[in-house]
Amino acid sequence: MACAFQSVARAELGLSGDVAMKLASMLPEGQNYKIYTDNYFTCIPLVVQLLCPGIHYMGTARQVRLPNCNLAEEKSLKKSGRGSFDFGVEGNHNICAVKWFDNRAVTLVPSFAGPEPVQKIKCWDKATKTYIEVERPYILGTYNKFMGGVDLLYSFAAKYKFCIKSKWWYLYIFWHTIILALINAWLLYKRDCKALKILPKEMLNRRQFQAELADSLILVNTTPIKPKRG
């Protein structure tokens, strides 16, 4: 399409939107790609710009990044109960915003779907200590399906972290990359164990795997010290 990746003022998209546009520019046009992100990236100008080359978007959103989108307040949705939601549609580009309340409110902005059909799912209720049926807009299920792995990765990264202090910002990025590589290695290890039919109780958990890996790296290219004879 002729309008593919038009230049947009950085102030309009922000730093996060600028990064998303640069990454998306590597995708071929007109292939119906769909991008899923968290609220750090989501803003309406970014969603509009991605529509030009035919790339769809779905992400959680902060209310401050949705100007003139007056969705119901969280207190109002909470009063209506779990599963209640409100939505609005931006008329020029058919971009939808859906705010859904479960244990707390979450807002999603998709450019290719809406709340319908509403699905019924089972959720745990702490008060009654039983599973109850809760209504959930269609796009929540879609988002969880394709974004759930990323959220799980963030959860893994938050565990067993090595705390470092440095005045050099790029060291934090480097160390974060090492942690992600370690998590992926552990997941591959678990997959191989299942393929070899190793019992779960015999598999290393992540903390054990991390310790074993650290020991192996420390011992690389080391020369054993021979005890001196008296």
Supply the pLDDT for residue 107: 93
| One-letter identity of residue 193 | C
C-alpha distances (whole Å) from 90 to each of 111, 127, 193 are: 10, 38, 49
C-beta of residue 12 within 8 angstroms of C-beta of residue 48: no
At residue 173, the pLDDT reads 85
Residue 227 confidence (pLDDT): 66
Q: How high is the pLDDT of residue 58? A: 92
Side chain identity at 53, as an amino acid letter? P
Output DSSP code: residue 8: -
Question: What are the helix (H) ranges across 97-224?
Answer: 138-158, 169-195, 206-218
Structure tokens at 182: 């370690």
What pLDDT, on a 0 to 100 scale, did the predictor assign at position 199?
92
CB 115 within 8 A of CB 139: yes
How, if at all, do strands 130-136 and 119-125 pair? Answer: antiparallel
Decide if 59 contacts 39 (C-beta within 8 A).
Answer: yes
pLDDT value at position 224?
65
Q: What is the pLDDT of residue 90?
A: 83
Distance of alpha carbon 116 from alpha carbon 37, whole angstroms = 21
pLDDT of amino acid 87: 92
The domains of the chain are located at: 10-157, 159-218
30: left (phi over 0), alpha (psi -120 to 50) or beta: left
* φ/ψ bin of 25: left (φ > 0), alpha (ψ from -120 to 50), beta (otherwise): alpha
DSSP annotation of 159: S
pLDDT of residue 7: 45
C-alpha neighbours within 13 Å on the C-beta side of residue 39: 11
Q: Is the pTM of this model over 0.85?
A: no
Question: Which residues in the chain land under pLDDT 70?
Answer: 1-12, 222-230
